[in-house]
Chain A
């Protein structure tokens, strides 16, 4: 089981993951992170905005998880320790539930305040037209520069006057006080967290999105309050006693609407993770005391016998004891074809049994299961930060105080420059500046793309372990491949059987194979295994040889008795046959050809006469050629690194279409080659099997570990290719490139939005075009910006190669 506090060395630092609620933007995240980092005893703290948690490494002698939770609460966010002994699956479920509750609450507040806001706007119409008339009399200003105000005065006001003339008959003071009451209600209920969040940030010398919303709406509210209580104060100074109650309500409503869309979209970014979590069935059919019982999966114990029927999902990991079936593992490996499983094969919890039935022994459970490990890895990956985000983080950190300063500059400039009603103008414009500035879009630009891309990767059978791996994979120039197990199947197989012309076995291929395989059945050499396997695959019966002798480095000799006849067998290389004075000249040409193709030919002599040649090779994977062509099409150089000899390696490279080969290298040599390429400025990916290639995988900019069937090397590499298909490496690189493009687009639009939005709200277009933005339009634009960034990231879900 996964405990929330990872097992520590007795006295060393410990790591705790604390779920945090109430963070809305990058500024919130950086505030919680900075606060935690400042705590005595904290070695490191990382806060994740999307997953809503903090991972803290601390010295248990100085502080405790409970104290850290208190610190987070003190800066204005919700925090609680994860429940002990929860699996990654249960934890994810709990997170989903809490995210849904938060989304539903925000949506409800957005809808209610939106309705109240519209009602308030209609109620304000009579006030606005009366004020316009009053100010006209007093020589005050009109607000026609603002398109929203222009629309309300020219379209909405006449329409309302016709539809509900009674509204214009109500005493304006009654209307104003009623609006005041409504606004207070909305601010206290729907917008409360903006003010409490802003206040707790302020106390800690920090500012975030809440600060902008709170200062903007707070200033509008206070202004309106004075205008309601003492309107003469304004009128006597030639300033309209405008009230902005409807603006306050609509700003809160629009920002909440944006937040709810954002929450919804953020939920969708982790849909792949959720789909994985829901793969595990809730119950398992277990054999206990000779009776079948349906038990909750949590109750299944190691070594329990589990029964799976056709069409059922496999509940936990295990090893088949009896029965045979094809299992669809596509949800974990991306492999669309069901995989045949028999006695002794491993099955993974969460995969789908197809037609057969079987019994199996439960092996790994709970947090150790493959599914739980994948969920944990994906969750960690989705919460990780891509280096490109540092720019966004730096800007978010200083963004809000800079915007506050800009709002003050805007106020002063408008106060001095406006010809009519400078105070009103200056006030409305600076509130619009506060409201339109949006640090959220910047905060969401990178993490949402990382979330969606890692989820999409998992669907394709590619586990990407974080934003950094994604970013580096997007920048690759060179791909290095290990040969055995990556380009080739990793298991020698018989590729050719050439019979000697005019020999005794010239037309008796099966018999010759039977004889050779019978002899080799006593050998432990991998080449012998390949021959035996080949004979078995062809359904040939093998007999025990009468005698057998293995001659190291040359081959094997012995006697095989078949159908009452004894055959003296000699199987091996040219030297062995020369020792027995066997003429190999008739097949020399074929042998040379086979060797030049990278195969290992073995001569076969029966009773001292050459009978044929058997060639064994590690066959190239069917998908390797395609994959390498795809990598080339992406402009990548493909190099093969292998410990094999030059001749075999070159032959494989030629057939697979690989650009360059470095043969005869040991693991240290592979690392040296990667370092050399890196020093030349290449960004290098190493694709290997994750066990033998661990040093090379670690040295490469991106290590891609090739999983083999169910035996997924989850710990190895930055990217895990769940099935042994090299094409998924090409997909992973393509996905990374696409993700980088999305991140850059998001950052670009988030910056451009603010770079354009803030000056427009400040009124730079007013002198030339007479254009101003009301705070209401500004809040709509602000809500739109973060939703557009998240939506752009969601487009990655449609990624296909």
Chain B
């Protein structure tokens, strides 16, 4: 694999990790927006 391909692969893994963190974990831990 070329350097570009390695970079794309690493970026892809990072993006997937972020998607799953943002939608599954961060959503649960964040307090409701309108909570007093």
Contacts and interface: CB of A to CB of B under 8 A. Distances in A.
Contacts of B26: 205
Contacts of B16: 405, 408-409
A415 B15 CA distance: 15
A204 B27 contact: yes
Interface in A153-188: none
Interface stretch (A35-43, A90-98, A274-282, A777-785): A35-43
Given A412-B9, A415-B8, A39 B23 contact: no
B32 A39 contact: yes
A416 interface: yes
A205 B22 contact: yes
A400 B13 CA distance: 17
B23 A207 contact: yes
Given A38-B32, A74-B33, A416-B9, A205 B19 contact: no
Contacts of A204: 27, 33
A755 B15 CA distance: 23
Interface string A219-233: 000000000000000
Nearest to A34: B27
Interface residues of A, number: 24
Contacts of B23: 205-207, 400-401, 404
Most chain B beta-carbon contacts within 10 A, residue among A40, A71, A207, A416: A416
A205 B31 CA distance: 11
Contacts of A40: 32, 35-36
A412 B34 contact: no
A74 B32 CA distance: 11
A412 B27 contact: no
B1 to A, nearest CB: 6
Contacts of B15: 408
Interface in A740-787: none
A398 interface: yes
Nearest to B13: A412
Nearest to A35: B32
A603 interface: no
Contact of B12 (A74, A203, A398, A411): A411
Nearest to A202: B22
Interface string A48-79: 00000000000000000001001100100000
Contacts of A409: 12, 16
A71 B9 contact: no
A408 B12 contact: yes
Contacts of B12: 408-409, 411-412
Contact of A412 (B8, B22, B24, B32): B8
Given A35-B32, A404-B19, A405-B16, A206 B8 contact: no
A401 B1 CA distance: 28
Contact of B34 (A39, A203, A207, A405): A39
Nearest to B34: A71
Interface in A412-445: 412, 415-416
Contacts of A415: 5, 8
Interface residues of B, number: 21
A37 B25 CA distance: 18
Nearest to B25: A205
A576 B16 CA distance: 92
Nearest to A416: B5
Contacts of B33: 74, 203-204
B27 A205 contact: yes
Contacts of B20: 401, 405
Interface in A189-232: 203-207
A405 B19 contact: yes
Nearest to A423: B8
A500 B2 CA distance: 112
Interface in A19-45: 35, 38-40
A405 B5 CA distance: 18
Contacts of A416: 1, 5, 8-9
Contacts of A71: 34
Nearest to A400: B23
Contacts of B36: 40
Most chain B beta-carbon contacts within 10 A, residue among A35, A400, A404: A404
Contacts of A70: 34
Interface in A561-587: none
B7 to A, nearest CB: 10
A793 to B, nearest CB: 30
Given A40-B36, A71-B34, A401 B8 contact: no
A358 to B, nearest CB: 58
B19 A408 contact: yes
A56 to B, nearest CB: 14
Nearest to A211: B23
B24 A398 contact: yes
A401 B17 CA distance: 11
A74 to B, nearest CB: 7
A483 to B, nearest CB: 55
A39 B35 CA distance: 7
A207 B22 CA distance: 10
A424 to B, nearest CB: 14
Interface of B: 1, 5, 8-9, 12-13, 15-16, 19-20, 22-24, 26-27, 30, 32-36
The 3 closest A-B pairs by CB, nearest first: A205-B27, A412-B12, A401-B23
17 contacts: A35-B32, A39-B34, A67-B34, A74-B33, A203-B33, A205-B26, A205-B30, A401-B19, A405-B19, A405-B20, A408-B15, A408-B16, A408-B19, A411-B12, A412-B12, A412-B13, A416-B1
Given A400-B23, A401-B24, A411-B8, 8 more contacts: A40-B32, A74-B34, A398-B24, A405-B19, A412-B8, A412-B9, A416-B1, A416-B8
